[in-house]
Chains A and B, each alone.
Chain A
Amino acid sequence: MMLPDPAATGLARVRKIEGDALGLRTPAFAPTEGAGDLLEVSLGPHHPSTHGVFRMDVVLDGERIVRLKPVFGYLHRNHEKLGEATSYLGSMPYTDRLDYLNSMTNNWAYALAVEKLAGIPVTERAEYVRVVLAELSRLLNHTCLAGFLMQDCGCSGTPLMYAFREREKILDLFESLSGSRMMCNVQRFGGCRVDPSAEWLAATRRLVDGYGAFLDEFEALLSGNEIVMARTQGVGRLPAALAVNAGITGPMLRASGVGHDLRKVDGYGVYPRFNFRVPIGRDGDVYDRYMVRMLEMRESIAILDQALRDLPGGPILDPKAKQRGLRPKAGEAYGRIEGPKGEIGFFLVSDGTGNPTRYRVRAPSFVNLTVLEDLCLGHTVADAVIILGSIDIVLGEVDR
C-alpha cells in the first residue's frame, strides 16, 4: 500500500467509534428455542434481485434471517489505484463508470474536488448547467430505483417499463448534449465541456414541464397501492440514531427523519439561490425510502424550473482554466455533493505532480450498504430483497 505519510500531508488521525460500544446496533436475532437446524443460503452473485454482482450469505431459522453477511468485490475495478496512475483530467471518464446511472453527479463531485485542490473558479453559466444536469440525473436515478424496487416487490415489468420510458427521454437529452447516453464525461475543471444550445434548453424545459404528469401517473398507480403499502411498510426500519452513526447519507438518511441534505448544509454551487424543500420520512422503512425519493423528484422539478429560468449567459468554461497537464500545488482537498444516492465525495492528495498521490472515493452506496444486516434481521428472504432494493446500490460504486 502506498499511503502518504500523515505527518507530511497533515492528515489528522480519526478516532474510530465502535458501533456496538454505543449500543446502537440491532442485537442479533435470537433463534427460536428448539427450532431445529439453521439453514445457510447464498444469495448471489448471480441473482436477479441483487442489482449486480453482490452476494448475501444468509442464515435462516425457518423463514427468518438470523444472520446476513454481505460479500462484495465481484466488480472491484481498481478505481482508486487507476486514479492515482492517471492524470487529473484522465480520471474524469473513470468517474462516469463509478455509479453508472449517474455519471453527471460523479463528474461534478470529482470536478469540485480538483477545483478546490487547484483553486480553479467556476463560471456562472457552468454552475447553473451543473445544477440542471445533476437534477436531471436525480430524476433519472430515482425513477429507475422506483421501477427496480417494484420489480423486487414482485410487480414484474410494468413499473420498470414506465421508469425506463422516462429514463430514455432524459438520456436523449444527455446524448444530444454530450454525445453519450450513459458515460457523459461532461464536466471539466472550471466549467463544462459543452455548452447547451437554446434548442437543448427548450427540450429540457418540455421534459421538466411534463415530468410532473408522469409522476402523478406513477404515484397514482403505486404510492397509495394497498399491495405496495402492505409489502413495504414496517419493513427494514432504520432508526435515526443508527443511520447517523453508520454514516448513512442521502434519501436513506432522510427517510429515517434526519433532515441532512448537502445542497442545504454545504450550499455548494448555486443551490442557495433556489427555493426547494428537503422531504424527510418518519419511520425509516422501505416505504418511507420510496416516498422520500418520490417527493425529492418533485423538488428536483422545482429546482430545474428555477435553474432553467435563471440560466445566465456567458462562457461555459474559462479557456484559461488548465485541463491537460494540471499540476496542483501540494495539498489535499475533499469535494462532496449530494448525489442521488447520498454524499458522493472525492478526496485528493496532491504532491505537486500530474497525478494525485491519493485518490479516494467516498461512495454513498457502499456506506449505505453497511447497515444491511441490521435492517434484515428478523425479516424473511423476500423482505431482504426489497430492503436491498430500497438502499439503492450500484455495484460499480460499492466495489469501485
Chain B
Amino acid sequence: MSDAPTAASVPGPISAEERDELRRHGILLTSVQELYNWGRSHSVWPLNFGLACCAIEMIAASMAKFDIARFGSEVFRPSPRQADLIIVSGTVTKKMAPHVVRLWNQMPEPKYCIAMGACAISGGPFKQGYNVLKGIDRYIPVDIYIPGCPPRPEALLHGLVELQEKIRQQPLRGPDAPRHLRSDLPCDATVPELGATDIEPPFSPDVWKPPTLVRPDKA
C-alpha cells in the first residue's frame, strides 16, 4: 500500500518515510479508511445496463480483448440492488430518464455514476432533439465523464481507473465524507415525470445548476 493516497492527511506520529521503512521489514501499517477504500475500489460492480451505441463498447470492454476483469469490474449485475456503479452508456431520452433515475435510486450506497459518451454527458449529436435529455447530470450526480462518440473501451477502462482513484481518496469522516456516511445529504435523486409538455422538473437543483452565461461583449 505504498500508493496510499495522502499519507500527510492521515493523522499520526509516523511519517511516510517511516512507514516505507517498516514496509521493507514486512510490517504493514494502514488505517481503516485506506483499507476500506482500497477494498471497495477494486471491486466496483457495474449495473448491466445499456442504452445505445456506447453500450456495445461497454460490452466490448468486458470481453476478452479489453477484459475489464483486470480491474475487478467484470461482475455486471442485472439487478440495481447488487450494483455499485451505473454506467450511463448512451442517449437518455425524456421517456427513459425516469427509469434511469429510478434505477439509480434503487442502487444501495455507496454508489457511483459514469456518464459514458457525448449523449450521456450533454445530449451529444442528438442534442437538438425535443425529447433528448441534455445530460444525465441534471438528475443524478455524475462522478466521471468519458467523452467520445462512442468512447473506446480503453477510455472506459481509463474512466474506471479514475473512479477507483476517486474512491481511494474519499475520507470517511468530516465534511468531505461521501453521501452515505452523512445524515445531512439526500441519497435519493428526484425522479422526473413526463408532464404536459416536457419532463418535470427539467433538472434537479440538488445536483445541477444552470450555467451562468457570460457574454464578454455585453459585460
Are A and B associated in one complex?
yes
B96 touching A45, Cβ below 8 Å: yes
Q: How far is the CA of A395 from the CA of B52 in the complex (A)?
A: 7
Q: Does B51 contact A (CB under 8 A)?
A: yes
| B91-106 at interface with A (beta carbon < 8 Å) | 91, 93, 95-96, 99, 103
Partner of B50, one of A52, A94, A161, A164: A52
Answer whether A97 and B53 are a contact pair too, CB < 8 Å, given A74-B96, A161-B64, A181-B152.
Answer: yes
| B28-67 at interface with A (beta carbon < 8 Å) | 48-53, 55-57, 59-60, 63-65
Query: Smallest distance from the beta carbon of B53 to chain A beta carbons, Å?
Result: 4
Q: How far is the CA of A235 from the CA of B138 in the complex (A)?
A: 44
Contacts of B95 in A (CB 8 A): 73-74, 76
Q: Does B125 contact A (CB under 8 A)?
A: yes
A52 touching B51, Cβ below 8 Å: yes
With CB as the reference atom, state the residue of chain B lying closest to A45: B99
A168 touching B131, Cβ below 8 Å: no
Q: Does A136 contact B (CB under 8 A)?
A: no
A182 touching B56, Cβ below 8 Å: yes
Partner of B131, one of A78, A100, A161, A395: A78
Contacts of A160 in B (CB 8 A): 59, 63
Q: Does B150 contact A (CB under 8 A)?
A: yes
Q: Does A82 contact B (CB under 8 A)?
A: yes
Q: How far is the CA of A77 from the CA of B124 in the complex (A)?
A: 11
Query: Smallest distance from the beta carbon of A206 to chain B beta carbons, Å?
Result: 18
Q: Does A345 contact B (CB under 8 A)?
A: no
Answer whether A165 and B131 are a contact pair too, CB < 8 Å, given A94-B125, A183-B150.
Answer: no
Q: How far is the CA of A77 from the CA of B126 in the complex (A)?
A: 6
A164 touching B64, Cβ below 8 Å: yes
Q: Does A316 contact B (CB under 8 A)?
A: no
Q: Does A396 contact B (CB under 8 A)?
A: yes
State the main secondary structure of chain B at its contact with A: loop
Partner of A78, one of B51, B52, B65, B128: B128
Q: Does B110 contact A (CB under 8 A)?
A: no
With CB as the reference atom, state the residue of chain B lying closest to A82: B128
B149 touching A183, Cβ below 8 Å: yes
Most chain A CB inside 10 Å of its own CB: which residue of B52, B91, B103, B152 = B52
Answer whether A167 and B60 are a contact pair too, CB < 8 Å, given A52-B50, A53-B51, A82-B129.
Answer: yes
Q: Does A101 contact B (CB under 8 A)?
A: yes
* Binary contact track A94-110/B, C-beta < 8 Å → 1, others 0: 10010011000000000
Q: How far is the CA of A78 from the CA of B125 in the complex (A)?
A: 11
Q: How far is the CA of A260 from the CA of B103 in the complex (A)?
A: 43
Contacts of B93 in A (CB 8 A): 73-77
Q: Does A85 contact B (CB under 8 A)?
A: yes
Contacts of B60 in A (CB 8 A): 164, 167-168
Contacts of A73 in B (CB 8 A): 93, 95
Q: Does B120 contact A (CB under 8 A)?
A: no
Interface bin, chain A: 20 to 34
Query: Smallest distance from the beta carbon of B118 to chain A beta carbons, Å?
Result: 11
Query: Smallest distance from the beta carbon of B206 to chain A beta carbons, Å?
Result: 23
B56 touching A101, Cβ below 8 Å: yes
Q: Does A119 contact B (CB under 8 A)?
A: no
Q: Does B159 contact A (CB under 8 A)?
A: no
B96 touching A97, Cβ below 8 Å: no
With CB as the reference atom, state the residue of chain B lying closest to A169: B65
* Binary contact track A157-179/B, C-beta < 8 Å → 1, others 0: 00011001101100000000000
Q: How far is the CA of A75 from the CA of B126 in the complex (A)?
A: 11
A77 touching B132, Cβ below 8 Å: yes
A75 touching B125, Cβ below 8 Å: no
Contacts of A100 in B (CB 8 A): 52-53, 56, 150
Q: Does B78 contact A (CB under 8 A)?
A: yes
Contacts of A93 in B (CB 8 A): 125
Query: Smallest distance from the beta carbon of B1 to chain A beta carbons, Å?
Result: 33
Q: Does A267 contact B (CB under 8 A)?
A: no
* Binary contact track B148-163/A, C-beta < 8 Å → 1, others 0: 0110100000000000
B149 touching A75, Cβ below 8 Å: no
Contacts of A75 in B (CB 8 A): 51-52, 90-91, 93, 96
With CB as the reference atom, state the residue of chain B lying closest to A85: B128
Q: How far is the CA of A192 from the CA of B99 in the complex (A)?
A: 41
Contacts of A52 in B (CB 8 A): 50-52, 55
Contacts of B55 in A (CB 8 A): 52
Contacts of B152 in A (CB 8 A): 181
Query: Smallest distance from the beta carbon of B191 to chain A beta carbons, Å?
Result: 14
With CB as the reference atom, state the residue of chain A lying closest to B57: A182
Q: How far is the CA of A183 from the CA of B56 in the complex (A)?
A: 12
Q: Does A48 contact B (CB under 8 A)?
A: yes
Contacts of A47 in B (CB 8 A): 78
A46 touching B56, Cβ below 8 Å: no
Contacts of A183 in B (CB 8 A): 53, 149-150
Q: How far is the CA of A161 from the CA of B59 in the complex (A)?
A: 10
Q: How far is the CA of A93 from the CA of B126 in the complex (A)?
A: 11
- A-B CB contact pairs (8 Å), 10 listed: A52-B51, A53-B96, A74-B99, A76-B93, A77-B93, A78-B126, A94-B125, A100-B56, A164-B59, A396-B53
| Chain B residues packing against A (C-beta within 8 Å) | 48-53, 55-57, 59-60, 63-65, 78, 90-91, 93, 95-96, 99, 103, 125-126, 128-132, 149-150, 152
Give 17 new A-B contacts, CB below 8 A, not counting A53-B52, A75-B51, A160-B63. A74-B99, A75-B52, A76-B93, A77-B126, A78-B132, A82-B128, A97-B53, A97-B125, A100-B56, A101-B56, A161-B64, A164-B63, A165-B63, A167-B60, A168-B63, A181-B152, A183-B149
Q: 8 tightest A-B contacts by CB?
A: A100-B53, A164-B63, A78-B129, A77-B126, A74-B96, A168-B65, A48-B78, A48-B48
